[in-house]
Amino acid sequence: MELIFSFENTVPWIILLPLLGALINGIVGRKSSRKVVENIAVGAMALAFFLALFSFGYIWILDGVVIDASVLKEGGVQKVSDAFQITFQSPIKGILGIQSALWQPIEGIRIIIEGGAIQLSPSLDGGILQQGALITSHIYEWFSLKFYEFQVPVFIRFTMDALSALMTLVVSGIGLLIHIYSKGYMSEEKSYARFFTYLNLFSASMLILVLASNLPLMFVGWEGVGLCSYLLIGFWWENPTYAAAGKKAFIANRIGDFGVLIGMFLLVSTLHTFEFSEISRLASLANDAGGQALSAVDSKRIATLISSFQLGPLALGSVATLACLFLFLGCSGKSAQIPLYVWLPDAMAGPTPVSALIHAATMVTSGIYLCCRLSNLFLLSDTAMMTIAIVGSLTALLAASVALVQNEMKKVLAYSTVSQLGFMFAAVGVGAFASGFFHVFTHAFFKACLFLGAGSVMHAVGAHGDADMRKLGGLRSILPKTHWTFLVSCLAIAGVPLTSGFFSKDEILLGATRLASTSQSHAWVGWFVFVVLVLAATMTAFYMLRLYFRTFSGSYRSAQATSSETDQQETSHEDHDHGYAAHPHESPWTMTVPLAILGVGAVIVGYLNLEPLHIHFNAWGDWLKPVVRDVQGGATWAPLVAMVGGFSAMAIGIGTAWVLYKGKEKDILPDLIPARLHALMMNKWKVDELYSAVLLKPVRALAGLSATFDRIIVDGVLTKLSSTIVKLASYGVTRLQTGQFTAYGLVLLLGVFFVTGWFVYPHPVIEKTEIKGANVRFVAAQGMGYQYRWDFEGDGEYDTPWGTANTALHRYSGKKFDHIALIAGPKNEKVALHMSKPEALPVSPQHARIVSPGVFAVLKDDGVLIRPNGYAIRLNGRMIKKEEVLVRPGSKGFVAGYPFKVVAIVSPKLTVKNVFGNLNHETVELEVMPSGDRRSPARKTKARISRVDLSRESIQVGHQHK
Amino acid sequence: MEIQIGHYLALAALLFGIGVAGFFLRRNILIQLMSIELMLNAANLVFISFNRWMPENHLGQTYSFFVIAIAAAEAAVGLAIVISFFRLNKHVDSEKASLLKN
């Protein structure tokens, strides 16, 4: 970094400072003193405002600068030494510009030129005219999406251009004033740090919303302000009504946010970008089709944008129309338009500074801000514009009619805010974006001033929640400062000439008449908007002056005993029963100074646009021209009609209020209009009741139904039933659980006895028997303290004494075998060992086995007597056909071509004794080749195996425990 | 008479038996804890005797240390439980300690 200071780095700090303030106050605020808390909060806002002002000035100086084109090299201007000619628009800008150039001129200009988002057009003398300067501050890439071949990155990137610079000034400037005001207003509050934390967090969120360069980042701020609004409306959450108001606001906003998301997705899926500048560029190209050469990608995107959106067989209008309508749904949630406006009047439950900052000056205008930001897009869709215009004007009328009869100061102001927001949307709808935003700007001043004035009154008389006008009056002499600022703001909102409200409201009406005079197909929209807005403006003038007279003129009604008037009308607030403080006092300077500043602003900010006075000076429109599209032209009668309409509305409204309320103690409005109509207006046209009947009741019914389902099916059948089954099934086992640990110990002890017994009792296991002819080697399993004893023949006589060796070797000889088997099978087949068929044998099946059907074998003392029965028997090389032959053990031969052999089956028995003298034994059954003859058994076995295959299979040990 | 391993083992078995009997026959949790200690010490005695009988690798002594450590931990936890049990119920009767029944 060669430069310590750069405007690129300034913009993020505008957001970071309040965020840091919120962080510090949120973490350590509870333990800090009030002084520290308020200094951190107000200091952060003051610094942010200072930086915003600074950045604004920078943009202002560079706006409209003419740069000598000859110095623009390929990569832009490189260094300060590349001195180049800058021509400033006005002398004052020149002076300031030189100073700024001394400071750091190049960085900013380079950014602007390389940014590419601004329009550079050749000026007269071959230079480049800089229109719409901006500061772009790129932080990092947040995440990235992929749409087919398009990579759509989402940046944490802040852009301060003409539009967002103005909004930043409003947010940080009025935010600062309201922070200062809060120091006085909230001085009695217990949760002081919490309040300032929320307020700072709100400012940061709002600044993110305003400064974001793309939709997702804007949505972060959008949700952030929604959250802070919820937190601040329910700031006094101990009161359930206030908490409910917070929830209502949050839910209404959520419905709108859903629309914003859908609109955002529609845009990104067609345009493959989230950046406002890119959306604006493409939309403006789509507006002025022809003339310019489009790249293939751009023309395809634009074609998709204006193509019809198909949902199955349904054609839902163009993609742009749908996107705009969904975005407008979001705007109607945040900016309190029909049908989602119902939350804003209830939002007055929050502290009054909050009402002024969030619910009058800044957050609720973010819908209009979004529309202006995407003005090019909205202009693509006549349907969307028409919808916005009609919804906006109807909202203005509806809210104004409710405000006419209300008795609480903040309630009147709340409906007035809804009404004024309707004016702004009507302006947007007729295409007068800059005028709508102008009203945002002026409204921010006078409405904030009005709210703070109401707060000052409430502070003075000790009213909580809201101030009932029936118990006020005559405060002019008691609260002079509050009175004067309140009066000025009332006149401004009423549209008295030469106040800011006059200019901005006239501009909106002018927009309507312009549309009426220029458009053929939508002229009726222009007239409709004009008529409805004039009506609404008349009401506005009337109810504002009514509010003023009822509060400040006449005598202070709470000084007397409870008036009879309060008893007549039904009340919704608890504190209506008793009057307010008998001796009100003027508020401290922290409250009156912001009031004064805002009051001055309420008058002078209108002079940015003198068109309504038929003076050709429109600094506002010129300033916003590079960013915001505005409809121009119109017939010559249009301004005149607008002027007459606006002026007469103001005059009639104020005149009526003057006649009816000047110096009067009693509200005579209920006597003038029919009682039923008055009751309806008093109850806000019963819209809340309608929503309750149409939306809440069915949802509640559904909730009740599913709750019943949950109770009976889920809790009852599924849970209770299954748990009961398990309980019943486990009844016996649960009895075992006595809860007495000695019982468990007893079971443990029994277990110990059992395991010990198991290990102590001898377990004779003959693990391995290696048979080699008549020689068998036995291996028994070892055990601690075991002694072994063998009975190899299984005849009951032990062949060995007790010994500790677990192996034994025995050679089977002689004729002491259990039984002898004849085993035979085909030569080439695998297994030829058949268990004997009992019917084929004359002897007991346990004592002989034979294969070869038809051959009979009889067990004799010294061998098996075979009767060939017609089969050819070959034994030891001799053919036997008829006579019986005695086959001795070990003999081999063939029966009808099948080889056979004779083996002995023995059952050796192992007896094991442990140290305690317990005995146990195991018997296995073995087939061994008895050594009946004199020849060496090993050699003989070997020879036999090599000659007869099947013998290997037959020498198997079958363990049979007996 | 020469003292042999069998005598040691008999003593250990006696101690262990006393411990088991104490644990099962008494109803005072403190006494029962002491009986457990007795059983652990009987086990220790067995380890030590076998170590004497087979002294090459000191396995018995090593294990007896383990047993002592475990006994200490057991005493700490057990006494803590007994104390909180007493604070709750104002008695230390294990027969009445059946909160987890069924």
Contact A877, A900 (CB under 8 A): no
CB contact under 8 A, A739 and B95: no
B57 touches chain A (CB under 8 A): no
Stronger pLDDT, A868 or A708, i.e. the higher one = A708
- Report the gap between the CA of A713 and the closest CA in chain B (Å): 28
Residue with tokens 């078995």: B13
Q: pLDDT tens-digit profile of A501-558?
A: 999 999 999 999 999 988 888 889 999 999 999 999 999 999 999 999 988 988 888 7
Residue B59 predicted with pLDDT over 80 = yes
For residue A215, which phi and psi values (nearest 5 degrees)? -65, -50
For residue A919, list its beta bridge partners.
Answer: A913
Q: What is the pLDDT of residue B15?
A: 95
Contact A210, A164 (CB under 8 A): yes
Q: pLDDT tens-digit profile of A306-337?
A: 888 877 777 778 889 999 999 999 999 999 99
Which residue from A minimizes the CA distance to B101? A739
B6 touches chain A (CB under 8 A): no
Q: At what angle do helices A106-115 and A34-62 cross, to 10 degrees?
A: 70
Q: What is the mean pLDDT of residues A231-259?
A: 92
Tokens of A625: 């021209």
CB contact under 8 A, B100 and A735: no
Confidence of residue A82 (pLDDT cuts 50, 70, 90): very low
Residues of chain B neighbouring A742 (CB-CB closer than 8 A): 23-24, 32, 94-95
Residue A80 predicted with pLDDT over 50 = no
CB contact under 8 A, B101 and A738: yes
pTM assigned to the model: 0.69
Q: What is the mean pLDDT of residues B23-40?
A: 92
Residue A785 predicted with pLDDT over 60 = yes
Q: What is the pLDDT of residue A830?
A: 28
Q: How far apart are CA A354 and CA A230, in angstroms?
A: 11
Q: At what angle do helices A319-334 and A215-233 cross, to 10 degrees?
A: 20
- Report the gap between the CA of A728 and the closest CA in chain B (Å): 12
Residue A949 predicted with pLDDT over 60 = no
Q: How far apart are CA A184 and CA A804, in angstroms?
A: 102
Q: What is the pLDDT of residue A483?
A: 92
Residues of chain B neighbouring A737 (CB-CB closer than 8 A): 100-102
Q: What is the pLDDT of residue A930?
A: 62
Residue A366 predicted with pLDDT over 50 = yes
> What's chain A's average pLDDT?
79
Q: pLDDT tens-digit profile of A128-166?
A: 445 567 778 888 899 998 887 888 999 999 988 889 999
Q: What is the pLDDT of residue A858?
A: 61
How far separated are the first and last CA of chain A, in Å rounded?
A: 96
Q: pLDDT tens-digit profile of A546-599?
A: 999 988 988 888 765 444 444 444 444 444 445 677 778 888 888 899 999 999
How crowded is the C-beta side of A758, counted as CA atoms within 13 Å?
6
Residues of chain B neighbouring A734 (CB-CB closer than 8 A): 102
Q: What is the pLDDT of residue A898?
A: 64
Residues of chain A neighbouring B98 (CB-CB closer than 8 A): 738-740
B20 touches chain A (CB under 8 A): yes
- Cβ contacts of A945-950, under 8 Å, gap ≥ 24: A947/A892, A948/A892, A948/A899, A948/A901, A949/A827, A949/A828, A950/A823, A950/A824, A950/A825, A950/A829, A950/A830, A950/A831, A950/A832, A950/A833, A950/A899
Residue A117 predicted with pLDDT over 70 = no
Residues of chain B neighbouring A739 (CB-CB closer than 8 A): 97-102
Size of interface A-B (CB pairs under 8 A): 30
Q: How far apart are CA A850 and CA B81, in angstroms?
A: 75
Residues of chain A neighbouring B95 (CB-CB closer than 8 A): 740, 742
Q: What is the mean pLDDT of residues A666-679?
A: 83
Confidence of residue A462 (pLDDT cuts 50, 70, 90): confident
Q: What is the pLDDT of residue A124?
A: 34
Residue A120 predicted with pLDDT over 50 = no
Q: What is the mean pLDDT of residues A227-247?
A: 92
Confidence of residue B14 (pLDDT cuts 50, 70, 90): very high
Q: What is the pLDDT of residue A854?
A: 53
Q: What is the mean pLDDT of residues A438-452?
A: 94
Q: Which sign, positive or negative, has the C-alpha torsion A176, A179, A183, A185?
A: positive
Q: How far apart are CA A96 and CA A86, in angstroms?
A: 13
Nearest C-alpha neighbor of A849 from the set A818, A875, A828: A818
Query: Which range is least confidently modeled, A357-371, A871-885, A909-923, A932-946?
Result: A932-946
Q: What is the pLDDT of residue A638?
A: 86
Residue A76 predicted with pLDDT over 80 = no
Confidence of residue B67 (pLDDT cuts 50, 70, 90): very high
Q: What is the pLDDT of residue A933?
A: 43
Query: Which range is least confidently modeled, A88-92, A101-105, A323-327, A424-428?
Result: A101-105
Q: What is the pLDDT of residue A227?
A: 95
Residue A54 predicted with pLDDT over 80 = yes
Q: What is the mean pLDDT of residues A355-372?
A: 92
Q: What is the pLDDT of residue A826?
A: 43
Residues of chain A neighbouring B74 (CB-CB closer than 8 A): none
CB contact under 8 A, A745 and B23: yes
Confidence of residue A285 (pLDDT cuts 50, 70, 90): confident
* Option in A734, A738, A746 nearest B98 (CB): A738
* Option in B24, B98, B102 nearest A735 (CB): B102
Q: What is the pLDDT of residue A855?
A: 58
Contact A576, A466 (CB under 8 A): no
Residues of chain A neighbouring B94 (CB-CB closer than 8 A): 740-742
Restricting to B residues 22-41, those with a Cβ less than 8 Å away from any Cβ of A are 23-24, 32
Q: What is the mean pLDDT of residues A86-106?
A: 50
Residue A691 predicted with pLDDT over 70 = yes
Count the helix, strand and coil residues of chain A and give each as a percent rounded to the nearest 5. Answer: 60, 15, 30
Q: pLDDT tens-digit profile of A619-663?
A: 888 888 878 877 777 778 888 899 999 999 999 999 999 998 887
Q: pLDDT tens-digit profile of A264-275?
A: 999 998 888 899
Q: What is the pLDDT of residue A289?
A: 58
Q: Residue A339, preceding bond cis, omega within 30 degrees?
A: yes
Query: Which range is least confidently modeled, A489-498, A596-605, A888-897, B17-26?
Result: A888-897
Q: pLDDT tens-digit profile of A748-783?
A: 989 988 998 888 888 888 888 888 877 889 999 888
- Determine what percent of chain A is predicted with pLDDT higher than 90: 38
Q: Which sign, positive or negative, has the C-alpha torsion A182, A187, A188, A191?
A: positive
Torsion of CA B8, B9, B13, B19, to 10 degrees: 50
Stronger pLDDT, A142 or A83, i.e. the higher one = A142
B87 touches chain A (CB under 8 A): no
Query: Which range is least confidently modeled, A195-209, A386-400, A492-506, A835-849?
Result: A835-849
CB contact under 8 A, A740 and B102: no
Q: What is the mean pLDDT of residues A341-358?
A: 90
Contacting residues for A67 by C-beta, under 8 A, at least 6 apart? A84, A85, A86, A87, A109, A127, A128, A130
> What's chain B's average pLDDT?
90
Q: What is the pLDDT of residue A295?
A: 79
